[in-house]
Each structure stands twice: as structure tokens, then as C-alpha cells.
Amino acid sequence: MSQATPPERPGMLKQATEAVKDLFRYERVTILDEHGNYVEKVLKPEPLVNPITLVRMLTWKNWLFFLVGLAAWTVDGYDFHSVSLSITNLSKFYGVSKTDISTSITLTLLFRSLGAAIFGVAGDYYGRKWPMVINMFIIGALQLGTAYAPTYHAFLGIRSLFGIGMGGVWGCAIAMALESVPIEARGLMSGILQQGYSLGYLLAAVFNLSIAPRGGADGFKDLFYIGAGASFFVGLVRMCFPESEQFRRAKEQGQKGGHTKQFMKEAGVVIKTQWRRIIYACILMALFNFFSHTTQDAYPTFLQSGKGFSQQDASRGTIIAKTGATVGGAVIGYVSQSFGRRRSIVVAALLAAALIPAWVLPNSQAGLAAGSFFLQFMVQGAWGVIPVHLNELSPPAFRASFPGIAYQIGNMISSPAAEMVTGISEKNFITHKGRRVEAFGPTMGIATAIIAILLAFWTAVGKEAKGSHFENAVAGHGTVDTHAPRPDVETASTGSNEKGDQPVHEEKA
């Protein structure tokens, strides 16, 4: 093992200032190259490549890994929203209030961090395959348990356990899906991958409008049966194809999986040397989750209470908004490959703030539908960059655990978002068409504006590592990037070398 002396790092304030300046100039980043070495590289805007050309770069194996990762994340989103779409029916079934049923959603969000830690570490240590298979089977079983829960307290317990299972999906799914994608196509595929969650909601909403009503009073349970079957199916499909390239390569070199002692040593080094990066990522994901929950969770209630829509019209409006989210994630994820990860997030967040009046002020269904479509286009467009951005910022050998834990801790911090918006709105009132209504529109608009600006600021003072070959590392095999770029304003000094990529750090197993 050889290691170059890392360059001296400037103070945090200077790094933050330089990071903001980099938004307006060619940024110099430190990335992992295709040979596993850290190099400094000038990040110049690349010409946009035809998306069809990018899609054709993927081999059938690439598509296999990507589609299963997308399916897992879509099913995860479907399973979660099955409850939020059934709150009224569940409250009648168990004889409790809607607020009591909403408690199950909060518990699910709180326990997701634990699942991210358990399955993320397992994914980095044992490989991507079997942790995901077990994860999907657990989720399927708990979806069945949700349908058959005899009492309200049993229902709460099952949904808490479901949170653990749900928390493990995102980190393992994006690590498996993106590490097999050609680097040029990662922006586009990241955007498509992240919107699996919105696609899951769309599927749940469509089934809730079409299939559930046919089952009478217990028809809502059909949503859970469908989710259970889909979860088991994804798990079975994942069983049918091999482990990821990194772990298969390690086995070919005579390493039968990660070494416990080495894995724990590497994890300790990452926590000790890169705690600022961890904190930065958790705050980033907290802001992102506030961004989505504030604009989505109370939106159907806003349409019904604030605008006088029927439940069906509100559902249609939400479906249109989610369609905008799905399209926006793919488009802005694609653009980020040329425009840069941070620039794409900052611009999308600021445009979302600018679209707030069009999102809450119109009174017609068409006007609100258009406003919600484009606002969610920007909100989830920014989200579309996150899978690849977090993977590039992660310690390469910990790409199943690091992004997943950061994502779910952010989710945990933002879990009260819907309750906060609802609570403030119910205590304040405005006049709409001569009648007194709860102030969901102003509350959501003000909260979204604040969060969008904070998100743009926090992203601007961070760093990125676009173009990093993060697939060239395996946990537990002696590779840990103690001098990797620190996107949380702890990035190595770039110097003034203009002669192309220069190695700054190299470790060999």
C-alpha cells in the first residue's frame, strides 16, 4: 500500500466560500478514477448526450441490475403509500381517529433509520444480493401482516417493523442499480431510479381508485395483498441473478466475502475521519425530506379543505403532481450529467420557490394541476440527482450503508413535517370564496419557500464528485478513502495544476 501525503486543507469558511464560487466557474474536484486512484480533475460542463444514446450504453446485465433496483424502490414506495391512501378506511376498521392511524406513518418513518443501518451494513459486508432478498421477503410478510392485523395496537407494531424493512431498501437498491451503470449515463438513470418512489405512489393511487372500491368495506386490504405479492416477486427475481461485480471480483481474488476485522476497522476510520461528511449528508437529506413532505403530504387535504375539491378530484390532482415529479426526476437527473450535481439541485430548488404562487393561488382545477405539476417537476427533479450525488460523495466501500443511513436519518428528522404543517394550518384561517377555511395554502407556501432557500444554500456550500468511479471499491477488503474529497466543506485544496488529472491518493489491497 502506498499513500501520497494529502494536500493541506483550508479552513471550513474558506472551503464554503470556494464551493459557492465553484457554482459560477469550472470546479476542480477530487474523484476516484477507473484505476481506483484519487485524482484532481477540472469539472467542465459536458455537452448533453442524446438520452437514447445513453440508454443504449447499458448492457442487458446493466439493465437487469438497474430494473430490479428500480422495482424494489417502486414497491417500497407503493407499500408505504398503501397506508396513507387508506387512512379513512383504516380508522373505520379499527374504530380510532385518523390522527391515530397517522401515528403509524410517523412510526414507520422513525424506524427507517434502524433498517438503513442494519441492511446497509449487511449490503456492504455480505454483498448486495442476499440482504436485498431477505429485505424484500420481510417487507412482503409485513404487508400481509398489515392486512391481517386484528387490533389497532397490532397494526402499529407491524407498521413499526415495516419501517425497519423499508429503511433498508433505498441504500441497497441505489448502490446495486448505479454501480453497474456506465458513468456517462448515471445522471439520467439516477433521475429515473429515484422516481420509482413516485411511481409507487401512482400505482397505489390508481389501485385505490379502481380495485379497492370493489372489495366493499375491506377492499382497502387489496392494496396490501398486491404490495405483498410484488415484494415477494422482486425478492424472487433478485435470487435468480448473481452478486454484484465488486464482490464477485473479490471472490475471484480468493477473498470469500468481507473480513470482519478489516470491515470494522474501515468503518471506524470512516466515522473518525469523515464525521463532517456524515453530518453534512444527514442535514442535506433532512432538508430534502422536508422539501418533499412539506409539498406532498398535506396537498390532498389542501385541495379538499382549502379549495373545496371532492376526494376523487383531490386524488386526480395528486396523480398529476406525481406525474410531474416522475418526469422532473428523469429530466433534471439527465441534465445534471452536464450541468453538474450541485448546480442542478440549486437551480431546481430556487425555481420551485418561484413556482409557489402558481401552486397554491389558482382556484380552478386546471390551474392548480398545472402549478402542482411544475412545482413537483422541480422538487422531485432536485431529488432525481440525489442517488448518484450521494453515491459519489460516499466512502466508496460503504455505498449501501452511507447513503441509506444519511437518507433515513434525514427522513427521521423530517418525520414531523406533515404534523407541523397540519397543526399550524388548523389553527389559522383564511377566507376563500366567502367562507372561512384552514390556512393550508399559506402555511405550505411559506414553509416550502424557507426550505427551498435553505436547501439551495446548503447544497451551494458543499462539494460534489461528479464522474467518480465509485464502483471500484469493496468493503472489508482493505480499501478506505481517508483522504477522499470531503463534500461537507472539508475537500482537499485543489491547487493550480492545469495539466489534467493528477493522482493525489492511492491505496491497494
Query: Is residue 257 located within the same domain as residue 335?
Result: yes
Note whether 114 and 240 are same-domain residues.
yes
pLDDT digits (tens, 9 = 90+) for 258-317: 555 666 776 777 777 778 888 999 999 999 999 998 998 888 888 888 898 887 888 888
Q: Quick one: 135 and 245 in the same domain?
A: yes
89 and 207 assigned to the same domain: yes
Assess contact for 289 and 410: CB atoms under 8 A: yes
In a shared domain, residues 41 and 98: no
The pair phi, psi for residue 438, each rounded to 5°, is -65, 145
Any domain includes 5: no
**465 domain-assigned:** no
Instruction: Report helix, strand and coil shares of the chain as percent, to nearest 5.
Output: 70, 5, 25
- How would you class 153 by CB atoms within 10 Å of its CB: exposed for 0-12, middle for 13-18, buried for 19 or more? exposed
CATH of the domain at 390: 1.20.1250.20
**332 part of a folded domain:** yes
In contact, 180 and 66? CB cutoff 8 Å: yes
Domain count, the chain: 2
256 and 145 part of one domain: yes
Residue with cell 437527473: 333
Is 308 among the domain residues?
yes
Distance CA 18, CA 461 (A): 8
Do 379 and 486 belong together in one domain? no
- Quick: pLDDT tens for 5-43: 444 556 677 878 877 777 777 666 666 555 555 666 666
Q: What is the mean pLDDT of residues 441-456?
A: 96
Note whether residue 1 is domain-resident.
no
Average pLDDT, the chain: 82
23 and 170 inside one domain: no
Whether 4 maps to a domain, the answer reads no
Domain that holds residue 210: 51-460
pLDDT score of 502? 41
- 435 — phi, psi (to 5°)? -120, 150
* Lowest-pLDDT choice from 13-27, 135-149, 282-296, 370-384: 13-27
The answer as to whether 3 is a domain residue is no
